[in-house]
């Protein structure tokens, strides 16, 4: 029995990350409601679908009243009456209405806001938790949480929008459960803060939510050393790894083909970066590296896969885009794809990218940094991804409890390309 959409409404709100964002609400005949709030990211790829922003002086041009208007006056009326479970039909209708290659006319924030709200409402209409609606009975894998502690030093100002990169995180793969992994990560974070206090008295001041070592350390190696020692002190050597989002494009200068201020002061070539990372994966318990080279360097990412022996994750490199992923697959570049539905603009296209990744041996790496924290955990479980960055932690604890003894924990098997570890 179909459940037809009766209303689609959007408005501008203040979102969880402190940004001005779009909120989309979808309602159906049965009373099912889906709400989504897509946000832009700190590190954004050139090939991401284009958010529609207002421009002008208001909110420095970042307002989204125009996107709300497009949703309320164009998208909503066109989709009312469609079956809320027809995800592909709804998404393709919006893509056709937009008519641009990057969703810039209606706005990717409007389109993805509707797309995400639709799948949430559809799950409720079917009286299923979202992870079960996405993955069916096979959705049983609880993800390893990737828990961020903050950033390293700042050796060049890459601009306001990309200030918080690279970012460093713990991955407690040996914990055996999501809840226990959160606790282990908390222990390791506490030990890291204690070590930094000892090593940099008077200079290191931990922030409330995360640490920043700008002006404290001279090389990000110093943070990796502290994190590695913290893992040992917490009693989890060999059971907790280090993940970091390099976001190399933030530091890449195309006119000179050099990375400037990347991990330390000065310039680095691609070979310099790969040599440094190779040294680090041998010295420290690194399990994954995200965007280690700039977003156009397919050959370099293929070299990273061959030389580093850890999971190489594509975020800005792929932008959850099946076409960009296909090019990388052909070159053997990277081994895991970040899932950010806002990057590509619809749930249907994002799931297409996930299917392509899986068929070619790539991992799926869901990340909730774009306003989908409430749902990305469900996507992680629904796709049996095995790991997740961000997400509503309370939601994932609840999913783990709901799955009970049927839950699967992958541990080291969650990672691709983990050589001799």
User: Using omega within 30 degrees of 0 as the cis cutoff, is the peptide bond preceding 69 cis?
Assistant: no
Give the CATH fold of the 134-414 domain. TIM Barrel (3.20.20)
* Res 45: pLDDT: 55
What's the chain's length in residues? 421
Domain residue ranges of the chain, discontinuous segments joined by +: 5-127, 134-414
Hey, which residues does 389 pair with through a beta bridge?
A: 146, 367
pLDDT of residue 111: 97
Write down the pLDDT at residue 311.
93
- pLDDT of 160: 57
pLDDT per residue over 67-110, tens digit each?
999 999 999 999 999 999 999 999 999 999 999 999 999 999 99
Per-residue pLDDT at 314: 87
Q: Give the DSSP letter string of 71-94.
A: IIIIIHHHHTTSBTT-HHHHHHHH
Give the pLDDT confidence score for residue 193 in this predicted structure.
94
Task: Name residue 141's beta-bridge partners.
Answer: 408
Q: Residue 318 has what pLDDT? A: 83
What φ, ψ does residue 116 adopt, rounded to 5°?
A: -70, -40
d(CA 58, CA 46): 24
Element (H, E) at 235: none
pLDDT tens series, the chain, 421 aa: 799 999 999 999 987 667 789 999 999 999 999 999 988 654 455 677 889 999 999 998 989 999 999 999 999 999 999 999 999 999 999 999 999 999 999 999 999 999 999 999 999 999 999 999 999 999 999 999 999 998 999 887 766 545 578 999 999 999 999 999 999 999 999 999 999 999 999 888 877 677 889 889 999 999 999 999 999 999 999 999 999 999 998 899 999 999 999 999 999 999 999 999 999 999 999 999 999 999 899 999 999 999 999 999 988 778 788 888 898 899 999 899 999 898 889 999 999 999 999 999 999 989 876 667 789 999 999 999 999 998 889 999 999 999 999 999 999 999 876 544 4
The CATH superfamily holding the domain 5-127 is Enolase-like, N-terminal domain (3.30.390.10)
Which tokens is 167 given? 């970012």
41-74 pLDDT tens trace: 544 556 778 899 999 999 989 899 999 999 999 9
Start-to-end Cα distance in the chain: 51
| Helix, strand, coil tally for the chain in percent (to 5) | 45, 20, 40
pLDDT number for residue 420 = 44
For the CA atoms of 269, 148, 164, 339, what is the dihedral angle to 10 degrees? 80
Distance of alpha carbon 113 from alpha carbon 39, whole angstroms: 9
Q: How would you class 404 by CB atoms within 10 Å of its CB: exposed for 0-12, middle for 13-18, buried for 19 or more?
A: exposed
For the stretch 335-376, pLDDT in tens is 999 998 988 899 999 999 999 999 999 999 898 766 677 899
């Amino acid at each position: 029995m179909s459940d037809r959409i009766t209303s689609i409404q959007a408005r501008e709100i203040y979102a969880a990350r402190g940004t001005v964002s779009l909120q989309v609400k979808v309602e159906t005949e049965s009373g099912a409601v889906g709400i989504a709030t897509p946000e832009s990211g700190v590190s954004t790829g050139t090939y991401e679908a284009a958010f529609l922003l207002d421009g002008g002086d208001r909110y420095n041009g970042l307002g989204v009243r125009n996107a709300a208007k497009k949703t309320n006056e164009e998208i909503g009326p066109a989709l009312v009456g469609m079956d809320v479970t027809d995800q592909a039909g709804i998404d393709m209708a919006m893509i056709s209405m937009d008519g641009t290659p990057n969703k810039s006319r209606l706005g990717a924030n409007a389109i993805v806001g509707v797309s995400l709200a639709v799948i949430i409402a559809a799950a409720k209409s079917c009286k299923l938790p979202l992870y079960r609606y996405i993955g069916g009975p096979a959705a049983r894998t609880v993800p390893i949480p990737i828990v961020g502690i903050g950033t390293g030093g700042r050796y060049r100002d890459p601009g306001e929008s990309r200030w918080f990169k690279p970012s460093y995180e713990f991955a407690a793969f040996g914990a055996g459960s999501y809840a226990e992994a959160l606790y282990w990560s908390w222990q390791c974070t506490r030990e890291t803060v204690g070590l930094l206090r000892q090593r940099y008295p008077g200079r290191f001041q931990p922030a409330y939510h995360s640490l920043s070592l700008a002006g404290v350390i001279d090389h990000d190696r110093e943070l990796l050393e502290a994190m590695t020692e913290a893992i040992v002190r917490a009693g989890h050597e060999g059971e907790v790894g280090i993940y970091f989002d390099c976001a190399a494009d933030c530091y890449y200068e195309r006119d000179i083909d050099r990375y400037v201020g990347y991990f330390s002061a000065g310039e680095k070539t691609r070979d310099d970066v790969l040599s440094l990372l190779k040294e680090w994966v041998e010295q420290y318990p690194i399990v994954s590296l995200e965007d280690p080279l700039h977003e156009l360097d397919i050959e370099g990412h293929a070299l990273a896969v061959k030389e580093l022996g850890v999971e190489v994750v594509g975020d800005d490199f792929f932008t959850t885009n099946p076409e960009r992923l296909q090019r990388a697959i052909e070159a053997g570049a990277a081994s895991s794809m970040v899932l950010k539905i806002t990057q590509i603009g619809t749930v249907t296209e994002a799931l297409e990218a996930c299917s392509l990744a899986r068929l070619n041996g790539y991992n799926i790496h869901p990340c909730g940094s774009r306003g989908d924290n409430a749902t990305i955990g469900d996507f992680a479980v629904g796709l049996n991804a095995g790991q997740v960055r961000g997400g509503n932690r309370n939601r994932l604890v609840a999913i783990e409890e709901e799955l009970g003894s049927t839950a699967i924990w992958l541990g080291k098997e969650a990672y691709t390309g983990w050589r001799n570890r």
